[in-house]
Every structure is written in structure tokens, then in C-alpha cells.
A and B are shown apart, each in its own frame.
Chain A
Amino acid sequence: MIAFLTKRLMHALLVMFVISVIAFAIQGNLGDPIQQMVGQSVPESERAALRDQLGLNDPFHVQYLRFAGNALQGDFGYSYFYREPALEVIARHLPATLELVFGASLLIVLLSVPIGVFSAIKPHALLSRFFMGVSIVGISVPVFLTAIILIQIFSIGISVTLFPGSTAWGAWLNAALSTQGHMPSFGRGYELVHVMGHWDTNLASFDGLKHLVLPSIALASIMLPLFIRLIRAEMMEVLQSEYVKFARAKGIAPRRIHFLHALKNTMLPVITVGGVQIGTMVAYTILTETVFQWPGLGLMFLDAINRADIPLIVAYLMIVGVIFVVTNTLVDLIYGLVNPTVKLTGKPA
């Protein structure tokens, strides 16, 4: 176990090293940060002075070694735009993203398991076909479109006048299909509850939860269909296996077979995929956060790219790399708990 964790720690360091080299190597193509920091009419001499002051004129290896030396001491540089240490900026934006990912994960878990199991047990039911159809649409609609549709329906509101308003049924249908809107369409709201350090939470007030709803749905919309289909496929396979057939022959109640014996084995691959996907979801938040102006890591990263805020970009990429390694490690640990036949060792299998 300790050997395993040590190995993963080495992985994390290697990942950070590789990412930092790559991020540093591409910085020339990210644009000129000076351009974003000065007015358009500022003369070239002032720009050159600033470039010098920031050390941007030094050769690649000098810049990299300076960065690496500082990074080893926990200093990841200073964000040009936020005028703060990059790590500080990331720490401030992290809680918003984690809460968003948490909200989306909660939706995914609560919806995908029952729907997936149901459509595996009753593959021919009308409802199953409906879920499968919707999930196909869900997979193919890009997240920003989902987000904009959600905003239009639930924030701005739509008024349907498709049916004749003069008739009673028409008026009723129009009213039933129209929405009032008024769900918050941007930001985290003003009623955040302070927990500790940089962490102000959306989860502790009604207004905060309201702000979390639409972004969570939008973010969940990409992963949810995937998980429904995954759980369904796994479950159907498990239901064909010998031990389930045997349990049936033994006369065990179907509910017990489905939810105790079959579901347990269904969840093994789901946990693996799920863990990796949660890591991916941190990356997916870029789109969701942009549309909803959610002040998390995704929005911060996109802004950093637009402003060529190189220290922040490098630090963000390295932190995301670490998040991936950590989630994968956790997945492996949990996998070991669920499936005792898996051994965690430092040796290659």
C-alpha cells in the first residue's frame, strides 16, 4: 500500500514536470502578455522595459530553471492579471469549480443508477426506450447549447403562443408550455456562506443552491447519458452471467438479485470510468463556467489564455495534472475496497 502511494506520488511529480515543460515550451504561441498589460498607444520602448522587468527576454532554459527553482519552493509565479501568486488565485477559484462538479456528480449518481438499472431490467419498456432516445440526444448536444437553452427556458422564460389562445384547451396548453424564468443565469449569487479560508459555499443557502442548479444540470448533461448507457450495458451483461441465473434458479427474490448481487458487480467498471470522468469534468467546466459566468477554475483558465497570463496557465495545467493523478489514485483505492481481489502494490502487474 505504501509502495503504491509512493509510486503514485512519483507519478504526480513526473506529470507536473512534463506539463510544466510543455506549458513553458508553448508559451511563445500563447501570445504576448505585454500587449494585454499596456494601453495600445504605449510606445515600444516602454513595452521593452516591461518585458525585461518580467524576464521575458531571457532564453528558454533560464526562464524555465528560474521557474522550476521557485516552484520547488512552492512559488508558482505571479499572475499578471490578478496581481497575486498564481497558487493563491487557483485556490480562490477552486471551491467554485469543486462545488459545481459536486452538484453535477450528485445529479449523475442520483439519476444514472436508477435509470440505468431500470432500462437494463426492462429493456423493452416504453420508458426505457424513451430514456435511451433522450440520452442519445444528450450525448450529441454540445454543452454550451444545452446551457443556453436552459437559460432561455428557466432564466429568461419562453411564452408559447402555438395553440389558439381563444380556446380553453389552447390557452391551457400555451400556459403549460410557457415558462416564467427567473432562475439565476450567471454567477454564484451574493448569499454565499463562508466556510473556511477561500471556501465560500453555495450549498448552505437557498439562493446559493438556486444559482447552482442550472450550471450543474448543464455540466451533468454531457456525462449523464454516458453513465446511463454504461450502467445499462454492464447490468445487462451481469444479468446474463451464471451466478445470476443460479440465484434465479435458487428462487431468490428478483429485487434482491438485481440490487444486491448484480448491481455490486455492475458498479466495478462504473467506478473506474466515473473516477476518471470526474477528473475530466474539471476540464469540461471551462464551457459551462463561461456560459454561466461561474467564477471557477474553468473561467479563470479561459481568461488567462485570452490574456496570455502565462504563470497562471502553467500553474493551472500543473494543478489539473495533479488532480488527475489524485482522482485516479483514489479510484484505485476505492476499487480495492469494493473488489478485494485487486491487490495494490508498487510492482507492475
Chain B
Amino acid sequence: MTLKKTLLASVIGAALAATLPATAAAETLRIGYSADPETLDIHEQLSGGMLRFSHLAFDPLVRWTQDFDFEPRLASDWEQVDATTLRMTLRKGVTFHSGNPFTAEDVAWTIERLKASPDYRTIFEPIADARALDDHTLEITTHAPYPLLLNLATYIFPLDREFYSGSTDNGQDKAEIVKAGNSFASRHLSGTGPFIVTERRQGVRVEFERYADYWDEASEGNVSRIVLTPIAENASRVAALLSGGVDFIDAVPPNDLDRVRQAQDTNLVEIPGTRIIGFQLNEARVEAFRDPRVRQAVAYAINQQGIADRLMRGFATPAAQFSPAGYSGHNPELMPRYDVERAQQLMAEAGYEDGFRIDMIAPNNRYVNDAQIAQAVANMLARINIDVNLRTMPLAQYWPEYDTRSSDAAMIGWHSDTEDSANFFQYLTACIDTDTGAGQYNYGSYCNEALDALVADADAETDLETRNAMLREAEQMLYDDAGYIMLHWQNLAYGARDGIAIDAVVNATDFPYLGDLVIGRD
């Protein structure tokens, strides 16, 4: 009986393999990432690691291409019915890992769950309702005209409604989202993604097997098995790649870029990232920072190119605005403005020729070379007679310290959750309003009402061309006002062994699409 079954299975398997030339020889990919997924419940925590994981075990409705366009995934088509309604056509013939068919009900249910998740609730607030018109048509309505619905759709990874419904043996609701708790969803998973989780030991490794009934048969991806080991220590991660212990690593540190590039059988893939790194000047504590000339002087005094070239060894793109190239609001006219003489002149005009003393804080294990960058900035500010007393601290202590806003300047990096320009302004420079949550990370209490109004208008504008122009103008206003001291966008660097076509599946969002990864066909 068993023998027959096995035989039958192998015959079917052989027949399938013959009809699908794309699935070549079984390939195992051994990954060394700086972190492993915190949980199996993708709605429990909004973090880069979790989103990476989501792209393995789940599929989004749409996803970003390398050029920041939308690529249809589980949603094959969409149209704007009216200002507040978007109708999406969903892909047919998709099944979840559990075997359940994928329908519009699953998506509607997933959006409801996202709206109940503490981490995603705010982002999904604009969505009023999502309902299934039929099995493969979904209608999403928003409270008000909202131009970023497709951006949000990149975060919608449909869950298997049937799988997560009901309750466990001890009466727990299977759909419940429990922060840092032992919920059903944090231990069990059923998605539509290219990979099934076969084994998981937190902090040790996660193993994946390719999902045999994966819908995307056009994908050239031939990775049949993934073993993901978290290796937090930079030097160890690089050593693991160089010694052949793993095939693919993320976050190659700047000091090791050349080693990975020059090693015989490894390749370095470097792409510009979208995380802006910069400083906020605390206007609530230092009166001088309320004068735009002083803020401009600080911006002029910092040699961004020097930091990017020497400290970051080319691992950063100097920035003069929040939006990296490719973002809707990227204004190509804004250039870094390093000019010490101009800075000194501005300080003199503002009456601070003799300078002043400030305290500054920065993390030392959050961004690439963060403490060294802060030190360099402190030295540069000394040239315009701003005497900086710098304190750096580990991340776990940095954020509580940051929240107190009790220093005169602070470093912060920001990645826009929506991959859209407006997000930067809303969190980093909007006038603080504790009721709406605006300016949650506005350390400096910077406030420019004209700028806020412009961004708010842009966010209600559904004509994308007009909207982009408004955001470009917003970048110009912020630049003129020096409301945030820009340094650079931190690049992304991956290392891979020869024959692994990683460059085709990575993108600026830092979520490699490993389902499409091709190994060994040059």
C-alpha cells in the first residue's frame, strides 16, 4: 500500500517535473541573516525581519519592483471605481499551504485582522472597509480619497481565513494577535507563499521547503529548500559566507565590502537603500535652533560626501532630502550643500559667531557606523563653534532616552513604511500633536505649519502627478528651512556565492524575493 503510494507519487512527480522545465534540479539555499523572524504571526510585529519572512511564506497583493513600480501578485488587476473605492481582481487557482483555496474572503478577513493589529492599525487606518464581491473580486473603500492604497497593498499578505478560524484545544481564539505571547498564529502558519516552514527553532534556524502547489509557475525560481541561520555578529556572518558555511548573507558591514567583493567565489550586491539617516535639532531646549539661519549653518557645516566616502566607504548616498530617488517626492534639484564659510557666515548673521554648547545623543548599534558618524558630525560642528558633548548608547537604552527629548540634538534614521515621501514628514517634522500622533518622532519640536498643510493636501490628492509635485515642493521647503539635518541614505549590501543570481531578486525595500531566486544557471 505504502509502496504503491510512493510509486504513484514519484510517477506524478516525474510527470510534473517533465512538464515544468523551470523547476530544475533541487537547490538548497543556506542563508545567514542578521536576525530571524520573531514569530510566525506576520501581524504581530511590524519589522523588516518580519516583512522579509512574509515574502517567503506569504504573497502580497502587489509588490515593489526594483524601479519602484507595482508588480501584480495575488491581485492580478485593479481599477479605481470612484475617489474612495478600489476594485481588485484576484488571481484564480491559488491555494494556501493547508490546501484551502484562496478567495476574496481571505483578503477581506486579513485586512480586518490588520486593522486590529497594534502594529499595523495606524497604517491601515485610512481603509474603511474591504469586502468580497465574489470569490475573486475585492472592493476596498477608504474614509476619504487616499492616494496610497496600492502602497498599503504591498503590506497585505493574505492569511488562510479557514485555517486561523475557530479555537484551539484550550479555548484560545486561533486568530488572536498576542504580543510576545504564545498564540496559535505565532506557532502555526498557512499562507500562499513559495515556501513552507518545516522547522523553526527561534534564534537557531528556520527551515523552509518549496511549496509544491505554488501558483506562480512562470517564476524561474529553483530554490527547493532554505535553511536560515540568524548570525547577528557582523564579522561572523561574513566569515560564514567566506568559509562556505552559508550561500547568502545580508547587511555586509562597510569594512568587509572589499573582502566579499574580492574573495574568489563570492559576489557583493550593493544597492542604494531608502533609510534616511540624519539629526534633529531640539528647538524646545536650544533657542538658537529656532533661527532657520542656525539650522542652515549646521546643514552647511556637515560634509556629507566626506562621511559617505570615508566613514561609510561608499556605502551611503549623500542626501539633501528625505525621499530617495524613485520615491514620489524625490526632488532631483536638491543637492548636499557642504560649505563651511557659508556656515560660519550664517552663524555670524544670526548673532552666534562665538557659538554655543550642546548635548547630542546617538545610538551605537542601530545604524551602520552610527556612533562614528555622530562623532564626525560633532567634529564638523566644532568648526562653526558649536561645541558638542556627544553621548552614544545601545539601542535598548537609546529609544527610552530619545522619547524624553531631553538632549539638544539626536540622531535618527527613518524608513518610510509606505515607501512614500509623505510618511517622513508626518513622523519626523510635523508639528507635534499627541492626539493625532503627528510628529511622533519630531525630537526637535520643529514646526512649520505651511509645510504640514502642504503635506496634508498632498495626502488627500489622488491625482498622482499633482501629488508628486506637491511633495517635491515640500522637500524644497524643508531644505530651505533646514528642518531636519540630512546625512545620507544607508545602502544595502548582500553577499552571495557565485552562481546565485541574487541581484535579480533584491530591491531597495530590503525584502529579497527568494521565491524567484535562480541558483546555478549563469
Interface, chain A (partner B; CB < 8 A): 29-32, 35-46, 49-50, 53-54, 78, 80-84, 148, 151-152, 155-157, 181-188, 190, 290-293, 295, 299-300, 303, 305-308
Q: Name the one of B203, B242, B398 contacting A156, with C-beta atoms under 8 angstroms.
A: B242
**Stretch of B56-64, B145-153, B157-165, B179-187 with 4 or more beta carbons under 8 angstroms from chain A:** B179-187
Q: Which residues of B contact A182 (CB under 8 A)?
A: 243-244
A82 touches B203 (CB 8 A): yes
B186 touches A83 (CB 8 A): yes
Contact of A305 with B396 at beta-carbon distance under 8 Å, contacts A37-B180, A41-B122, A46-B121 already known? yes
A83 touches B181 (CB 8 A): yes
A83 touches B180 (CB 8 A): yes
Cα A112 to Cα B280 in complex, Å, equals 57
Q: Which residue of A lies closest to B264 (CB)?
A: A159
| Band of interface residues on B | 35 or more
Contact of A155 with B399 at beta-carbon distance under 8 Å, contacts A186-B239, A291-B235, A299-B203 already known? no
Cα A290 to Cα B399 in complex, Å, equals 24
Q: Which residue of A lies closest to B434 (CB)?
A: A44
A306 touches B394 (CB 8 A): yes
Shortest beta-carbon distance from A218 to chain B in Å: 12
B45 CB-CB contact with A under 8 Å: yes
Cα A54 to Cα B179 in complex, Å, equals 10
B243 touches A30 (CB 8 A): no
Cα A84 to Cα B202 in complex, Å, equals 11
Q: Which residues of A contact B172 (CB under 8 A)?
A: none
Cα A44 to Cα B227 in complex, Å, equals 37
Interface of B: prevailing SS = loop
Shortest beta-carbon distance from A158 to chain B in Å: 11
Give me the 9 closest cross-chain CB pairs, A-B, nearest first: A31-B396, A39-B46, A155-B243, A35-B399, A80-B180, A32-B400, A43-B437, A308-B396, A295-B204
Q: Which residues of A contact B198 (CB under 8 A)?
A: none
Contact of A38 with B396 at beta-carbon distance under 8 Å, contacts A81-B38, A83-B180, A293-B233 already known? no
Within 8 A of A (CB), among B231-284: 231-233, 235-236, 239-240, 242-246
Interface string of B189-203 (1 = CB under 8 A from A): 000000000000111
Cα A106 to Cα B227 in complex, Å, equals 32
Q: Name the one of A152, A157, A290, A295 contacting B203, with C-beta atoms under 8 angstroms.
A: A295
Q: Which residues of A contact B245 (CB under 8 A)?
A: 155, 184-187
B236 touches A185 (CB 8 A): yes
Additional pairs, 13, CB under 8 Å, beyond known A82-B203, A185-B243, A299-B203: A31-B400, A32-B396, A38-B179, A40-B414, A41-B423, A42-B119, A78-B182, A81-B38, A156-B243, A184-B245, A186-B231, A186-B240, A291-B233
B397 CB-CB contact with A under 8 Å: yes
Q: Which residues of A contact B201 (CB under 8 A)?
A: 295
Q: Which residues of B contact A80 (CB under 8 A)?
A: 180
Q: Which residue of B lies closest to A303 (CB)?
A: B203
Q: Which residues of B contact A42 (CB under 8 A)?
A: 46, 118-119, 122
Cα A303 to Cα B236 in complex, Å, equals 15
Q: Which residue of B lies closest to A308 (CB)?
A: B396
Shortest beta-carbon distance from B118 to chain A in Å: 4
Q: Which residues of A contact B235 (CB under 8 A)?
A: 148, 291
B215 CB-CB contact with A under 8 Å: no
A83 touches B229 (CB 8 A): no
A300 touches B203 (CB 8 A): yes
Q: Which residues of A contact B406 (CB under 8 A)?
A: none
B459 CB-CB contact with A under 8 Å: no
Q: Which residues of B contact A300 (CB under 8 A)?
A: 203
Cα A270 to Cα B227 in complex, Å, equals 44
B396 touches A155 (CB 8 A): no
Report which residue of B179, B395, B440 has the largest number of chain A beta carbons within 10 angstroms of its beta carbon.
Answer: B179
Report which residue of A42, A183, A306 has the largest number of chain B beta carbons within 10 angstroms of its beta carbon.
Answer: A42
Within 8 A of A (CB), among B369-422: 394-400, 414, 417
Q: Which residues of B contact A303 (CB under 8 A)?
A: 203, 232
Within 8 A of A (CB), among B493-513: none
Cα A82 to Cα B239 in complex, Å, equals 27
Q: Which residues of A contact B242 (CB under 8 A)?
A: 155-156
Shortest beta-carbon distance from B396 to chain A in Å: 3
A sample of 22 inter-chain contacts (CB < 8 A) reads A30-B397, A31-B399, A32-B396, A39-B47, A41-B123, A43-B440, A46-B118, A46-B119, A54-B180, A78-B180, A82-B202, A151-B243, A185-B240, A185-B245, A186-B229, A187-B204, A187-B205, A290-B236, A291-B235, A293-B232, A306-B365, A308-B396
B304 CB-CB contact with A under 8 Å: no
Cα A183 to Cα B398 in complex, Å, equals 38
